[in-house]
Amino acid sequence: MIASVIFDCDGVLVDSEPISNATLAGVLTEIGLAMTPEQSVEAFLGRSWEHAVTVVTERLGEAPPADLHARYRERLFARFEAELEPVLGIAAALDQLGLPRCVASSGSHERIRHGLAVAGLLAYFEDAQIFSAADVEHGKPAPDLFLHAAQQMGFEAARTVVVEDSPAGVRAGVAAGMTVLGYAERTPAELLAREGAVVFDEMSALPQLIHDAS
């Protein structure tokens, strides 16, 4: 029986992916790595900032400017303040869930908390329920982050559901031995299903899906 739930943040709790990928694509284009938002999604969706730096370094042929992250963060947070909304239906779904829960995201702790606060969702998660890829050696698609979150929360992997929206995140959840529900409102359903997720496209369906997984 399912006893706990781990949520990804970007694209699952907060509708940040269009904002973050457009912002990152713009910043990278400015430093000489021309990129569209769609290409940013393909290269970076669900992955850590460290992964992004590795990819950018490989494609540029040199390390990116030292202030790249600061530049990206400043623009991203400004756009969050102006545009960020919760994922449609997530608040109602959280209200209906009677299970212990936490957040495990590839973003930094600062980004996770800021996004949740702007979207009006921070009250659903205490500080001790928020985990970042910065907490582990290997980010998604490695299982480390989900296993770390489960260990800290006292969750049993086999009785935990992960809610994800990226192929890398689904792969991480499956590798952790958890049941994965793939939210396909923006990500092509076939990409999530291919990695082993049970796919859905409306958050209103989430409570019943978790019940059915039990």
Q: pLDDT tens across 2-55, in order?
A: 999 999 999 999 999 999 999 999 999 999 999 999 999 999 988 888 999 999
Note the pLDDT tens digit of each residue in 84-115. 999 999 999 999 999 999 999 999 999 999 99
Strands, DSSP E only, in 76-119?
101-105
Whole-model pTM? 0.92
Please confirm, yes or no, whether 135 is among the known catalytic residues: no
The range of the structural domain enclosing residue 55 comes to 17-83
E strand segments, the chain: 4-7, 101-105, 130-132, 160-164, 179-183, 198-200
Give long-range contacts, CB 8 A cutoff, 24+ apart: 68-73: 68/27, 68/31, 71/27, 72/23, 72/24, 72/27, 73/111
Query: Residue 209 has which token pair?
Result: 């899906």
The residue from 83, 109, 129 where one domain ends is 83
One domain for residues 95 and 72:
no
Which residue, of 32, 59, 83, is where some domain finishes?
83
Annotated catalytic residue, options 8, 15, 144, 165: 8
For residue 184, pLDDT over 90 is answered with: yes
Whether residue 8 lies in the annotated active site: yes
72 with 133, same domain?
Answer: no
90: amino acid identity, one letter: I
User: Does 214 have pLDDT greater than 80?
Assistant: no
Same domain, 11 and 110: yes
Verify that 133 and 45 share a domain, yes or no: no
79 and 94, same domain (yes or no): no
DSSP symbol at 135: G
User: Helix count (H) and strand count (E) of the chain?
Assistant: 10, 6
